[in-house]
Every structure is written in C-alpha cells, then in structure tokens.
Amino acid sequence: MELNTIILACYILICTITRSVAVDTIRMHQSFRDGDTITSAGGEFELGFFSPGSSTNRYLGIWYRKISRGTVVWVANRDVPLMNTSGLVQVNRKGITLQLVDNSTGVIWSSNTSVSMKNPVAQLLDTGNLVLREGHPDFNSVEDFKWQSFDHPGDNLLPGMKHGIDLVTGLNRIFSSWRSDVDPSVGSFSHGLDPNGFPQYFVSKDSLIWTRTGLWNGYKFGGLPNKNQNGIFKDVFVFNEKEIYYRFHLINTTSAIMRFILTPSGDSKLLVWNDQQQIWMVYLTMQDSDCDHYGLCGVYGICKINNTPRCECLRGFIPKFQEEWKAADWSGGCIRKTDLVCGNDEGFMKYSGVKLPDTRHSWYNMKMNLQECEISCRKNCSCTAYAIADVRRGGHGCILWFSDLIDIRDYTVEGEDIYVRMPSSELVKWKLEFILIASVLVVVLLGRIFLVACKKRKLQKEEKLKLNLESVALTKIENEDLELPLFDFQSIANATSDFSRDMILGEGGFGPVYKGILTDGQEIAVKRLSRNSSQGLDEFKNEVSCIAKLQHRNLVTLLGCCTEKGERILIYEYLANKSLDSFIFDSNVRNTMDWPRLYNIIIGIARGLLYLHQDSKLRIIHRDLKASNILLDHDMNPKISDFGMARSFGGNESEAKTLRVVGTYGYMSPEYAIDGQFSVKSDVYSFGVLLVEIASGMKNRLFNHPDHSFNLLGHAWISYKQGKLLELIDGVILEPNNHYEALRVIQIGLLCVQQDPKDRPVMSEVVLMLSSNMKLPHPKQPGFFMERDLFEADQFLSNQNLSTSNELTMTTLLPRP
C-alpha cells in the first residue's frame, strides 16, 4: 500500500513537471481548446481564445499577459470567427501545419507550412512571436522556425518584427487595421512597403493611397522627428538584394514597453505603456496634420503646415486650375510657367527642408555622389529631379525622378534637399527676383536707419521718441504679411462692450484681458496692452509673429491682432477655466482637482513644450513658462500661452545669450538669471519648478518653512535626500494609490532643475519618463538651492548631518519674495 502511494505521488509529480515545462508549447499529440492558454517562458505574452469587446465571436489570438491584458497583438482567424467555444488548436499529424479546427466545419485556419517536420512544436516566445519548429532542445536560431506569426502580422508591429519584403521568397509583410474595436477582421487600412523605384511605405485605404512615410535617409525616415536620441529604442532599415524591411528594437527591454499600431481610422502610432496610469500613451504619430494626406497639393505643389492656405506651387510653377485652387481644391496640382525643351540649356532649382516626393517612378544608385547624380539627371531629358538618398557621412546615393513630383511637404528642421529641373529662363528670372528683393530690402533698411537717425536728432524728449517709434512699428505690423487676420478696433470694442470692466478676465503687468463675443457668436479673449505695459512693442510683435505660426493642441491659438489707433491688441481663443495658478494655488479650488486630472495637465504641458523645442518649424524657447501662463480649456486641457518673451532658433542653433534678462524669478534657471544664457534647458528648468509646484500646491519663491529658509526646490531636494518626499505632496489631491506616481513627478521635477544644464533631460526624455515606467536616475543638487540667509541654511544642513561642502553650492542671492 505504501509502495503504491509513493508510485502515485511520483506519477503526479512527473505530470506536474511535464505540464509546467510545456506551458509555452503545443506538441503534436497535445490538445488545445477554448479555455486553455499557453504562456511564453518569461510570462510576457499569452495565446488563447478571446472575444473582443461586446462581440460574442471567438478568435485565437496573442495578448500581453503582465500588462494591459486586453491588448491583443495578433489574431489567427481574424476573418473567420468561431461562433461558439468548440475551437481546437493542433499540430497536424504530418507535422506540416498548425491548425485551428471547428468541430462542425473542420479546419478554418492553418499556418500553411510546406516543410514536413519529424517532431513539430508550436511555441509562444517572449517577443510575442508564435513559431512552428522542430522540437529538438538546442534550437536557438530563427533558421529553426518553419513558420512564425511575425511573418503574418495583423495591426501591431512589435519590437523585433520585420516590416517589409523578402525578395527571395516573395513574402510581403503587410499590416492591416481591424475593421473596428470589436471586429479584428481586415479593415480598410493597410500599411506596406512598395519596392517600385526607391522603396517607401504607404498606408492605403482600400485601394487608394492614404498617406506615405518619408524615405529612409540612412538613420531615420525623412520628415519624422528623431525620437531615438534618448537611447530607448533603435530603428533598423535593411535594404539589399535579398530583402527590404524596417524593424525597431528596445535597447533596454526593462526601460519601456512599446509597439506600433495601425488603428481602424488609419492612424499609425508608436505607443508606450504607462505603468502608473495603466494606459497606452502616444509617443509618436506618423500623421500629425492634414499635410500628411497623400497628394494633398497635387503634382508640383508643396504643403506647408504653418501656412494658410496650406498649399502653394513650387517656384516656377502656377496652379493648373486657378479657380479650384482659390476654393482650396488643390488636387489639380501645378504646371510649369515655362515648358521644358529637351536640348535647351536647363538647370536645377534647389528646395531645402522638404519631404522628398513619391518615388514609385524613380531610379537609384547607392554608389553615386551628388555631382554624379546631377550629371545623370542632366543627361536624361525625362529626369525631372534628383536628390541624395543617404545623408550620412556627407551624403551619398542618388535618386532620379522620371515623372511629375507629388506629395511634397516642408520640414524646416528635419527635411531634406531636392533639385528640380527648370528652364534656364526661370532660373535667371528667380535669381533676378532674389537680387531685386534683396536690393529693395537693403534700400528700405538703409532708409529706415536714416529716418531713425534723423528722428533721434530732432526729438528732444524721450516720451516723444517712444511714441514716434511705436507709430512706425505698429504701421509696419499692419503692412507685414504675418498670415494672421487683422481685426478692426470697432469690432473688438463692440465684442467687449467697449472694454467694460465687467468683461475683464484678469490683469497683469501687460494690461487687462477681456472676454469678448464676436457678431457670429464666437467667444474670444482680448489682451489689450496698456501704454505703460511691461511688455513693449518688441514683445508684442514677437508674440504676433511667433505664435501665429504654431499649431498644437497644447498651445493657445492666436486668432488675430489689432494695431489701429496705436493700439496693441491680441485676440485669442477663449479658454473657460482661465489659468493653472488659479487652481493649484487656491486651496478652495484645488479641492476640486484630483490627481489624474493634474497628471494629464502635466503631460499636456510637456507635450506642448516638446513641440516648441523639437517638432515646430523653428526651435522656440519660451523663456517665461510658469503656472499663470498655462491656460485651461473647458475640458481642463492645458495650453501654453504668452509668447512675448519667446525666442526662435533656426538651423543648428540651440542656445543664445542676452544682456536683457526677462522672465519671472523663481522659474528662471541659474545660467539665464545670472549670465543671460538661455537654451531649451532653460525651459526644462522652468518646467521642473512647475512640476514641484503642481505636486505640492505651493509656490517656489513664496514657500517658507519653520526649520529653514530654503525655497520650495531646496525643501524638495532635502526631502528627497531624507526620503520624506511624501510629506511634500498635497494630501488634498492625492489618494494613496497615486503616491508612487506623484513621488515620481517630483523626482522628474528635480531632474529638470539640476544646477548644470548638461545634467537636465531634454523634453523628449521628460515625456518618456512621464509616460513610461522607466527607471529614473538620481537627481543632482538643484540650481538656486539657497536663495536666502546663508548662515541659517548652513546651520540647518549641519543639524541634518548633510555635508555643506558636497551638497551646497552658492550660486546667487536673489531678492526676497
């Protein structure tokens, strides 16, 4: 009896071990039914049957197991759903295919593997790849895979997946969207590689091209921002005689979880998992404006996102259908002013900072240089343009176009150069126009200098000089083409009830802001600069010319301006909830704000600042980022405002120096307040201050503590080193389950306000920190760690057993708040 018990126990143990070892595989003699699942060895992914959303149909799919369990990344029978739970997965006896069988109808899906195997095994890997292979234990190579789900994608591109064509086998890995959120069948949108001409990726809607990714230029796809500077993931593009494909892989798999998805509406997005909020957040989108719609401006048209209207013809071209063009129907494109005549003297006009056009009717040679490329195009009368294919190491590789150029848009920062064939007459005409315009500008400039010099000699009183300069400057603004509507003064006066005090929304050093209602019912905010405003003409013009060209959901929209009668009036969209400081610094109002809403505001500000620093047409430094300059719309979405102090950079500029320091103490970085040195890192410092203020509900410079005389940043730094950050968080807005996220926000804030600008992260890194669960580095000492009494601060540090020699750096003494 005792022996039988031992034998039974051993049998049960062996069975248990066998089942646990095989949790990631399906073997030929095993059954796998609806209700069963297999899990990858590391527990990252799970394979089983599921019903999407409210649907009752059953599908065989793969989904994340450790995070976001409802996120399905691959579906086997997406077009042939099971109507019940009778599904059965098996490796067929011949070892040829992996099959999904319906008891009533037979095989409804198969891997269609053509290679026979002796010991076939289906295995789910930790990459999310379902593979069919020989069952020998020492396999470790992709060559062992006889079939894999990565070669038959759905709507997701996971790290390590190839997206492209195997030129040897003809396998084309095309992604296709779900039909809807509850229907995984093949939807209207597909994303695939077109190898005709120079390879490029298209998103198609049914049979029509929807959008097109820029060409691979050696290190990224043209036109898309370089998001890999943070070292989180790496792009790879393989282009040879055997295969053409793109893939990305995470450099550190523990730092972030990312995936591309093609949504049912046709958007291609790179998503990152936010572990605190338990949601997927958009890290990068391939379609960020209407300029990304394929061929929006027709042939030889160029789409400019910051222009109104969006489309214009390339130089030397005019709209083919003038009336349709005026009505914003640009599909007819543009035609040449002067036709090309083969054999006549012709040249090439250079366009810089563009997304290169559709290359399906192109030819390329990766061994040629730019000069050889031009010679080849010049010799062929059918060649319409040429460009360098690979921008690395000074540029190499040649692309020649042999058709009309279509789908061009401007990218000032991330764009490339193209040389378009033009008649010599047009080239000469353009050069003459350029010389003429330059000459006129020089004459106007010299004339203006002369007039100003004369006025300076004539004017005796400083106030009279100021009024004359204002008159000249305002007239100039009226005459300039700022692509911004000019409102007449009377319409603004009517909208604000003659600037009634009952309509005032707020007031600052610049003057009052009024609420107004236009005759069509649109609500507006009217900023009227007073005569003694702290913001002068330069700030007024700077804000008009700067913000008018910016478009982002987290930036306030400037609708127009008014300069009649010497006025300096700016007209903005009306934002119902006013500014952020009225919420976070008012104890009564703050009670209405929960942490998730504040966190969404933080994310929105970060994305707006990232756009200014990296994704806008020009790199823009705000220089006065603070809570009162963050406005909130009806849904509490944040919008950065007040660009009077902003500075724009072009090309490779990244920093500058000024003798006129502007901004707000408490938000200014040390290098800017002391030396006038400003860069994107100056705005990062201000953003860090804002993070600490939002999490604590206290102002940096008005902060006081009974035990020391540090500002809020100094107190946060001490609390961090002592492990007491939780005491800093405002308990009114914080539930216990949000502690970790709020502590993380303060740590990110401390990283942003580090003394040395080189130590501070850029905004792309900040956005990733806020939207992922990546490990945060330890911050160093903040700038302006001590603003107040040195003796009191030194005594406090001594009492807390902190080293003043290692931890305290005296930078400057600012005025007391």
The CA-based dihedral angle spanning residues 286, 287, 288, 290, taken in that order and rounded to the nearest 10 degrees: 160
- 8 A C-beta contact, residue 214 and residue 378: no
Placement of tokens 């039914």 in the chain: 33
Closest CA to 298 of 311, 317, 287: 311
- 8 A C-beta contact, residue 317 and residue 288: no
Query: Hey, what are 470's tokens?
Result: 């204002």
Query: Parallel, antiparallel, or unpaired for β 523-528 and 511-517?
Result: antiparallel
Residue 59: beta bridge partners? 50
- For residues 94 and 98, give the distance between their C-alpha atoms in angstroms, rounded to a whole number: 10
- 8 A C-beta contact, residue 391 and residue 227: no
Query: Hey, what are 504's tokens?
Result: 């005032």
- For residues 421 and 340, give the distance between their C-alpha atoms in angstroms, rounded to a whole number: 8
- Which residues, including other chains, have CB under 8 Å from residue 11's CB and lie 6 or more apart? none
N-to-C CA span, the chain: 88
Residue 740: phi and psi, rounded to 5, are -60, -45
- DSSP reduced 3-state for 712: helix
- 8 A C-beta contact, residue 40 and residue 126: yes
- Which residue pairs, CB below 8 angstroms and at least 24 apart, start in 663-667? 663/623, 663/624, 664/624, 664/626, 665/701, 665/814, 665/815, 666/626, 666/699, 666/700, 666/701, 666/711, 666/817, 667/624, 667/625, 667/626, 667/700
Q: Tell me whether residue 538 is one of the annotated catalytic residues.
A: no
- For residues 811 and 671, give the distance between their C-alpha atoms in angstroms, rounded to a whole number: 10
The count of C-alpha atoms lying within 13 angstroms of the C-alpha of 191, restricted to the half-sphere facing its C-beta, is: 28
- For residues 345 and 425, give the distance between their C-alpha atoms in angstroms, rounded to a whole number: 9
Write out the DSSP string of 224-268. Answer: S--GGGGSSEEEEEEESSSEEEEEEEESSTTT--EEEEE-TTS-E
The CA-based dihedral angle spanning residues 784, 790, 792, 793, taken in that order and rounded to the nearest 10 degrees: 40
In angstroms, how far is CA 118 from the centroid of its own chain? 49
Closest CA to 613 of 539, 683, 552, 557: 683
Residue 82: phi and psi, rounded to 5, are -85, 140
Query: Parallel, antiparallel, or unpaired for β 301-303 and 408-410?
Result: parallel
Candidates 194, 292, 390, 624; catalytic one: 624
- For residues 317 and 300, give the distance between their C-alpha atoms in angstroms, rounded to a whole number: 7
| Gyration radius of the chain over CA positions | 32
Residues carrying an active site annotation:
624
